[in-house]
Amino acid sequence: MYLTKEKKEEIFAKHGQGKNDTGSAEGQIALFTHRINHLTGHLKENRKDFNSERSLVKLVGKRRSLLDYLTKKDILRYRAIVKELGLRK
């Protein structure tokens, strides 16, 4: 499995308030980014996997909506997470 409990805790510890803070927008955005990167690599090898492609599109939409929320809520937190994860826009 590509996403173990330890990897999740590491992501939330680095980008959230702590390793158990799974509700923060930054932690969720970082987790979605990790999953999006994994699915992108999977789809490069398996071009006809349309179910995974649909999942990727849904994840990108979820991440986008969280980023929009963060933009409205606190623009400095938005800029920090975009810079830290290397996201465009």
- The answer to whether 15 and 84 are in contact (CB under 8 A) is yes
Concatenated DSSP letters of the chain: --S-HHHHHHHHHHHSSSTT--SSHHHHHHHHHHHHHHHHHHHHH-TT-HHHHHHHHHHHHHHHHHHHHHHHH-HHHHHHHHHHHT---
pLDDT at 64: 97
pLDDT of residue 14: 92
Residue 3 domain-assigned (yes or no):
no
Task: Give the pLDDT score at 58.
Answer: 97
Per the structure, the count of domains in the chain is: 1
CATH of the domain at 40: 1.10.287.10
* 46 domain-assigned: yes
Which range marks the domain in which residue 70 is found?
A: 24-85
pLDDT at residue 18 in the model? 82
Give the pLDDT confidence score for residue 89 in this predicted structure.
Answer: 67
Q: Is residue 32 part of a domain?
A: yes
Query: How do the pLDDT tens digits run along the chain, 89 residues long?
Result: 788 999 999 999 999 888 888 889 999 999 999 999 999 999 999 999 999 999 999 999 999 999 999 999 999 999 999 999 999 86
Q: Could you tell me which residues come within 8 angstroms of residue 57 by beta carbon, excluding any fewer than 6 positions away?
A: none
